[in-house]
Amino acid sequence: MESSTIHEVESRIEHLTGRLTMLRAEIGKRVVGQEAAVEEVLLCLLTAGHGLLEGVPGLAKTLLIRTLADALDLEFRRIQFTPDLMPGDITGTEVIEEDRTTGRRATRFLPGPVFTQVLLADEINRAPPKTQAALLEAMQEGHVTTGGEVLELPQPFFVLATQNPIEQEGTYPLPEAQLDRFMLKISLDYPESHDEVEILRSTTGTGSEAIASVLTGPEVLELQQLVRGIVVSDEILNYTARLVRSSRPGRDEALDVTNRWVRWGAGPRAGQSLILCAKASALMRGRLHVAPEDLARVAPAVLRHRILVNFQAEAEGRTPDEVVTTLLSEVALPRSEIL
């Protein structure tokens, strides 16, 4: 590659990563604290992956997604999931229309709110499983099939869903097949004391921060291509495979903690998500190669919904996050990567 071309590529990368910094700043105008959740939502954006945000009411889950949408020059729609929501309310409905001049009737498809670029599925676990499953094809394939016809969704497209903890009344657990389609499960906790004071200050006054649009659709697609081009060593690939395989009980690679606490481990899609998110983490830090700390940073959000703990773990109060932490500490990195 000629030096002038290399310089142009480097300049473009610098421009786009600068836009990511601006995007963080715009989100910070409305969302106080929750830095980890903000970063993980941006990982979804950079990888074209879907994110599931979980936390008790009032932790700014919906606000975070709305603010991200305001800062992107992308089409945004919101679906409020309720017990009476039907699959057609998400994907769309075929209606019969009559031509008044000829009397002939024909069907026409009315696209649902899934035909957008950023979709907020608010309180997704308030709807029954049949309705939740209406999103599966769109999330996995990027299209909707109706009447034998395949309708492509606009690009970029990704779903950001919120859910309340499943222990709350009136919630339906998401099926494992759909959970696996979410690249990340983003956990939001109560704010720190200084953040809570700032929340009180910023939300009880008269003003509201305006959010500037800092990234266009083509720029998002370009960033997603840049993420795909981040370099990953064979050692990192082998380590990721060993990490995922160590989460599966009853296998040769399983750890003691796995056999003791895990009912089902992570599947191959977990490894793909780990590598993509690690690539995005590296790009956000101005690196064009994946480092071990990138994997450690993204592993909890990638794995926590793909590891199902058993009854013994539940009885002992153990969580998937604890299992992931143990896996990260016990599955050793190759010596060349530690150095």
Element (DSSP H or E) covering residue 51: strand 50-54
Q: How many domains does the structure of the chain reveal?
A: 2
**Residue bearing tokens 């750890």:** 255
The pLDDT of residue 191: 84
Pairing assessment for the beta strands 143-146 and 149-152 based on DSSP bridges: antiparallel
Same domain for 130 and 253, yes or no, is: no
The pLDDT of residue 242: 93
Same domain for 184 and 281, yes or no, is: no
The pLDDT of residue 334: 60
Same domain for 33 and 121, yes or no, is: yes
Q: Residue 269 falls within a domain, yes or no? A: yes
Residue 86 structure tokens: 């039907």
Indicate the residue type of 95: V
The pLDDT of residue 339: 38
Which residue stretches of the chain have pLDDT < 70? 1-7, 9, 166-170, 207, 334-339
Domain containing 52 equals: 1-85+116-203
Same domain for 279 and 338, yes or no, is: yes
Indicate the residue type of 47: T
Residue 221, by phi and psi: left (phi above 0), alpha (psi -120 to 50) or beta?
Answer: alpha
The pLDDT of residue 337: 47
Same domain for 177 and 302, yes or no, is: no
The pLDDT of residue 338: 43
Return the CATH number at 315: 1.10.8.80
Q: Residue 223 falls within a domain, yes or no? A: no
The pLDDT of residue 30: 86
Residue 256, by phi and psi: left (phi above 0), alpha (psi -120 to 50) or beta?
Answer: alpha
Residue 253 structure tokens: 């690679």
Return the CATH number at 77: 3.40.50.300
Handedness of CA 116, 120, 306, 171 (dihedral sign): negative
| SS3 label, residue 189 | coil
Q: Nearest 10 degrees: CA dihedral of 172, 173, 178, 180? A: 160
The pLDDT of residue 244: 94
Same domain for 238 and 171, yes or no, is: no
Spatial contact of 272 and 228, defined as CB atoms under 8 Å apart: no
Same domain for 197 and 233, yes or no, is: no
Q: Residue 102 falls within a domain, yes or no? A: no
d(CA 71, CA 24): 9
